[in-house]
Amino acid sequence: MVHKKIVTYFEEHYSKSPTLIKAPGRINLIGEHTDYNEGLVLPASIEKGIYFAVSGNDLNSIRIETFLTQPEKIEFQLNSQHNPFNSFWGNYFKAIIEILVSKDYPLKGMDCVFGGDIPIGSGLSSSAALCCGFIYAITKVSGKSISREKIALIAQEAEHKIGLNCGLMDQYAVLFGKKGNAFLLDCKDLSHNYIPINLNGYSWVLVNSNIKHNLAVDSEYNKRRISCENIVKAVQKSRPEIKSLRDVTLVDLNSLVNVSSSIDIKRAKYVIEENDRVRQMIKVLTLGDALAVGEVLRKGHWAMSTEYEITTTELDTLVKIGEGLEGVLGSRMMGGGFGGCTINLVQTNTLDESINSLLQQYKDQTGIDAEYYPLSIDDGVKVFE
């Protein structure tokens, strides 16, 4: 178990009995690219996560070490100077520390060893787990708590600092997740509640296409955000009360056919209809209607493929193969796009057979070995006993 390795390593190299914190990855059942448009999302935190072993030190510095990807150790002086580092994760921690310093948060010396079992770049939001878990760890060592709502905002600000203009869905899902439940978040006012997942006889499975994405480098994410903002500005000329796509209707969109770009209109239509798919998913999950849940997943995928244009040929191939397999009720790409995973609802009694067939057909058609991960819905960030 990865958390035991982390604790053992910490005790061998730092001190005994560290506090161990788990920050989960998250899946998103439906509601993709709606969060930064003040829309609705339906994520859930999962069993896979990042673990942080932490304790205070008297060195006036924060020492952080990992074997998450390549082993590396970095050190931040509490005057916010730091030695150069190579790993991508160092940029997140640097941003978080700078934000906390700017807010006069009373940082204390800390030793931290972290690692986990979230596949990087697979759409499970490893970066939100990394940021939220690290901030929560700092509060445990410093002894001054920060509300989970504020942790989410600091984690979001850190992502913005390193170039990804993300919404708040990932951070909220990582912080507020609850075992056995999906988490309905209204990104307009950040109100939220829990939707029980009662699909007995069915399993959620993630299939990693092994096409990696890097959203901060790839500007396509930000291009789509700009498309959405362009439509809001166009609608505001006749309806100045409109603040986001959440309040734009399909009737509003139709009125822009001659004044806005067809690409902007197509992308805005996707977001408006994706909010409706979230509402539909809540209904069918509540009814326990697995067939209808699968249908919502499929519709969501092909809208991302043809309207928002954020899937890849490989992800489309995975979904098409699943449509031909009896035990797979529905699939869709999950995450920011341009790589990563599909989330699949699969009949439990044919799970192995269905997934093995899916992986073999994918290999035959693309030459790529995909991987799969059974998913369990778990709690949000917590001290791990």
Given the structure tokens 């690692």, which residue do they identify?
Answer: 115
Asked about 252 being catalytic, the answer comes back as no
Q: Are 60 and 2 in contact (CB under 8 A)?
A: no
Contacts of 189 (CB under 8 A, 6+ apart): none
Residue of 118, 80, 114, 120 whose CA lies nearest to 97: 80
- Going by DSSP bridges, is the β-strand pair 40-56/61-66 parallel, antiparallel, or unpaired? unpaired
How many whole angstroms separate alpha carbon 321 and alpha carbon 363?
11
* Residue of 104, 111, 117, 170 marked active site: 170
For the chain, the three-class secondary structure string (H helix, E strand, C coil) is CHHHHHHHHHHHHCCCCCEEEEEEEEEEEECCCCHHHCCEEEEEEEEEEEEEEEEECCCCEEEEEECCCCCEEEEEECCCCECCCCCHHHHHHHHHHHHHHHCCCCCCCEEEEEEECCCCCCCCCHHHHHHHHHHHHHHHHHCCCCCHHHHHHHHHHHHHHCCCCCCCHHHHHHHHCCCCEEEEEECCCCEEEEEECCCCCEEEEEEECCCCCCCCCCCHHHHHHHHHHHHHHHHHCCCCCCCCHHHCCHHHHHCCCCCCCHHHHHHHHHHHHHHHHHHHHHHHHHHCCHHHHHHHHHHHHHHHHHHHCCCCHHHHHHHHHHHCCCCEEEEEEECCCCCCEEEEEEEHHHHHHHHHHHHHHHHHHHCCCCEEEECCECCCCEECC
How many residues are present in the chain? Answer: 385
Q: Work out whether the CA dihedral 22, 28, 33, 39 comes out positive or negative.
A: negative
Residue numbers annotated as active site? 170
